[in-house]
Amino acid sequence: MKTTKKTMLTTVLFMFSLLLTLPAQAGGPPVAGGDNTPVATGKPAARGKLSAAAKAAIAAAKDLAARITGLEGGERAAAIEAAANAYDKITTDFAVEPAAAAQAAFAAGELWQRQGSLPLAERDFLLAAQLDPQRFGQRGLLEAAEAQRRQKQFDKALATFAQAAAADPASARAHEARLAIGRVQQQSGQIEAAITAFQAALEAVEKPRQVIETCDLLAKAWLQKGDLGAAERAITHADEAVANVVEPDPVVRERLQKALAGMSARKALQKARDKAAGTAKDARAVEAATGGGR
């Protein structure tokens, strides 16, 4: 029998009410007073491992999140909020278990992000990064920086992206953060700084696909500045980088060639050239019509 949306939402809210009392039930951690706040007693869970109570709380929150599927409009928004609040409650109820609190904080951040509550998403991503740097440090910083960017808090976003890049400089996420710095600078009108950022990102990568992606962004930044020659050199750098790759797999080679051909900077450069040529032609026509200005 199909469950109605109203019934689904009622079930979601009921599950959330159960979650609020979970830490106080049998098998959960001891609580202080009547607010269900866990206190550390006895032998704590091993670092990185979750207690049975934490696992149960996270499982209940996951169940709430799973019930979002199929809902729309206000019901969907309410279900997302209920699941996000459930995860947020875990961050406080299980503050003595950083691994559990960090996992819950990151999940809450993703839900708030889906709902468009960017300040709450930013807060939870930063908390996850702080509580468990090894697992969520770089990921949390990246997501928090993106939330800051979407809020047009460009200075904060640049600083947070820089932290993410520095967390593990050789990682793919660090490359993503370096490119994001350039994009934010472009978005905020800092073209010179964006070009510098993309050039620095290019110097830090070796993988062909990353080179192509970075050269594409760098070329478009040069075009935005109006330097068509520099844009062409960036595209040529990508072409040469792929030409010098020794890749025995024909499928990989074909994908690289498609990525090169698909660089949007190529069309943008041609469009800029056509515009420049048209402007020059119009200028010559005007000059001829006016007798060369005499």
The answer for residues whose C-beta is within 8 angstroms of residue 165's C-beta and 6 or more apart is 174, 177, 178, 181
Q: Which of 46, 41, 17, 18 is nearest to 31 (CA)?
A: 41
- pLDDT on residue 65: 96
- Report how far residue 117's alpha carbon sits from residue 111's, in angstroms, rounded to the nearest whole number: 9
Written as tens digits, the pLDDT of the chain (294 aa) is: 444 444 444 444 434 443 443 333 333 333 333 333 333 333 444 456 899 999 999 999 999 999 999 999 999 999 999 999 999 999 999 999 999 999 999 999 999 999 999 999 999 999 999 999 999 999 999 999 999 999 999 999 999 999 999 999 999 999 999 999 999 999 999 999 999 999 999 999 989 999 999 999 999 999 999 999 999 999 999 999 999 988 889 999 999 999 999 999 999 999 999 998 876 565 555 566 566 555
Entry pTM: 0.76
Task: Locate 6 and state its tokens.
Answer: 């109203």
- pLDDT on residue 162: 97
Domain boundaries, the chain: 205-294
